[in-house]
Amino acid sequence: MRRLLVSLLAMAAVLFALDRAIGAGMERLFRTSTSVEDGDVLRRAWNARAPIVICGSSRAMHHYAVDSLGDELGIPAWNLGRDGAFGSLYPFGCAGVLLRHYTPRVWILEVERSVVRGPELLARLSCFLPYADDEPVAREVVGLRSREEPLRLLSRTYRYNSLVLSLLSPRLGKSVRPRRGFLPLEGAYHPPARPAPEPRLPESVVWPPVDSLKLRYLRRTIDLLHGRGVVVLATDGPRFARSTDDSLGAVREAHELGRLFAGMNVPFLDLSSERLPQFRDPRLYKDESHLNEAGALQLTRVLADSLRARGFAAARPAQ
C-alpha cells in the first residue's frame, strides 16, 4: 500500500509539473498564434477597440466583411463570429469580456431561431477557458459547461484543450490573412439535382422549445450592452431556400425574431433571402446556410446601408 501511495504521489508530481510546463507553452502559443478562430480572439478584439462589433455563429463570421464595412462607413468594425455559437451564451461572454476593456458604439447580433430555442451547445463555450482567470464573465460562462469545471480549471493545460493543432496551423503554412475576424468562404453552392432522402422532421425538432437559460442570457446580454449605452441591432442573414418549406420557415423565423427583439427594445434587421431577392442566387453561397465571399460582400453593403440610414456613417470612433 505504501509503495502504491509513493508511486501515485510521484506520478501526481510528474503530472503537475508536466501540466504547468505544457500549459505555459500552450498559453504562449495561444497569445502569439494568428489563428482566426482559436487564437487570442477576444484580446485582439479589445485591443482593436472597434466601435462596431458583430457577434454570432459561423453565419456572422462568414457573412460580414468587416474590413469592407469599416471602409464603407468610415468606422472600424470587428467580427466575433464563431462556428457553432448559435445560442445566447457566446454573445453574453463576448460582451462581458469586451465591456471590461472598452465600450463599442454598436453591437450587431447575428441571430437565428436557436438564439433562444433548443439547448445551448455548452461545448462551444470552451473558447472562454483561456480567459477564465482574468475575466469574471468568462468564468461565469465557463462554469455553466459543467459543475466539474472549477476542478478542471486547476489544470493549466485544460484551458487550451484541443487547440494545439489549430494554434499551430498558421505556423505550419495554413495561413489565413487576418481580416478583423471575418473569414471569407470560397467556392459556390450547387443545389442537389435530386432531393435528399431526408425524412420530414417533426415540428418539435425544427422548432425546439424556447430554452429559459438562453432567453435569460440573451436578456442579460442586451441589458449589459444597453446599460453601457451601446446600440444593439439584431440581424438574421440569408439562407438558400431549397423549397417552399424553407422559405416559409425563414419568414416564420424572421417574424418570431422580430417580435422577440421588439420586446427587448432591439431593432431587428431581416436580411433573409425572402426579404432580399438578390440572395436567391446560389452563386452567392458556399452552402445552403453560408454565403461565399461574393455573397458576403453584397450582404455587408446591405448592412452598411442600413447602418448609414441609422446615422452610423462617418462618425468618429469611440475612444
Partner 1 sequence: MRRAARRVYHDSMRFNSLDYLFFFLAVVGPYFAIPARHRRSWLLVASVFFYMYWSPAFILLILYTTTIDYFVARRLAVTEAARSRRRLLALSYVTNFGALFLFKYYDFFMDSWQSVLGAAGLAVHAPLLHLVLPVGISFYTFEAISYTTDVYLRRYPAETDYRRLLLFIVFFPKLIAGPIERAWHLIPQFERTQRFDYARVRNGLAKILWGLFKKVVIADRLAIYVDLVYDHAGRHVGSTLLLATVFFCFQIYCDFSAYSDIAIGTSQVMGFDLLRNFRRPYFATSIGDFWRRWHISLSTWFRDYVYIPLGGNRDGFARTNLNIFAVFLISGIWHGANWTFALWGVYHGTFLVLQNLGNRFLPTVLPHGPIRRIVHTALTFPIVCLSWVLFRANSLRDAGHIYHEILFDLAPRAFFPGTLAQLAYGVFGIVVLLAVESVTEAGGFEALFAPRLKPARWAAYAAIACLIVMIGVIDGGQFIYFQF
- Least separation, in Å, of the C-beta of 120 and partner 1? 12
Could you give the C-alpha distances from 69 to 60, 73, 203, 211, 236, in angstroms and in order? 13, 6, 37, 33, 17
- Least separation, in Å, of the C-beta of 148 and partner 1? 5
Q: Which residue, 162 or 265, is less far from partner 1 as judged by CB?
A: 162
- Least separation, in Å, of the C-beta of 88 and partner 1? 19
Residues 260 and 257: their CA atoms lie apart, in Å, by: 5
- Least separation, in Å, of the C-beta of 231 and partner 1? 34
Q: Which residue, 26 or 299, is less far from partner 1 as judged by CB?
A: 26
> Among candidates 128, 96, 93, 108, which has minimal Cα distance to 60?
108
> Among candidates 137, 284, 305, which has minimal Cα distance to 235?
305
**Are 181 and 34 within 8 A, CB to CB?**
no
Q: Which residue, 148 or 265, is less far from partner 1 as judged by CB?
A: 148
Residues in contact with partner 1 by the rule CB under 8 A? 1, 3-4, 7, 11, 14-15, 18-19, 22, 26, 83, 122-123, 126, 145-146, 148, 151-152, 155, 157-158, 160-162, 164-166, 169, 174, 196-199
Q: What single letter denotes the amino acid at residue 265? A: N
- Least separation, in Å, of the C-beta of 229 and partner 1? 36
Query: Which are the contacts of 285, defined by CB distance < 8 A and separation ≥ 6?
Result: 188, 189, 240, 291, 292, 295
- Least separation, in Å, of the C-beta of 89 and partner 1? 14
Q: Which residue, 122 or 264, is less far from partner 1 as judged by CB?
A: 122
Q: Which residue, 1 or 309, is less far from partner 1 as judged by CB?
A: 1
Residues 218 and 226: their CA atoms lie apart, in Å, by: 12
Q: Which residue, 54 or 167, is less far from partner 1 as judged by CB?
A: 167
Handedness of CA 36, 41, 47, 49 (dihedral sign): positive
Q: Residue 219 burial by CB count (10 A; 0-12/13-18/19+): exposed, middle or buried?
A: middle
What is the grid cell recorded at 265?
427594445
Q: Which residue, 111 or 125, is less far from partner 1 as judged by CB?
A: 125
Residues 307 and 183: their CA atoms lie apart, in Å, by: 21
Residues 191 and 195: their CA atoms lie apart, in Å, by: 9
Q: Which residue, 153 or 264, is less far from partner 1 as judged by CB?
A: 153
With both helix axes pointing from N to C terminus, report the angle between 89-99 and 41-48 in degrees, rounded to the nearest 10: 50
Q: Which residue, 157 or 221, is less far from partner 1 as judged by CB?
A: 157
Strand (E) positions, the chain? 52-56, 77-81, 106-110, 231-236, 268-270
- Least separation, in Å, of the C-beta of 174 and partner 1? 8
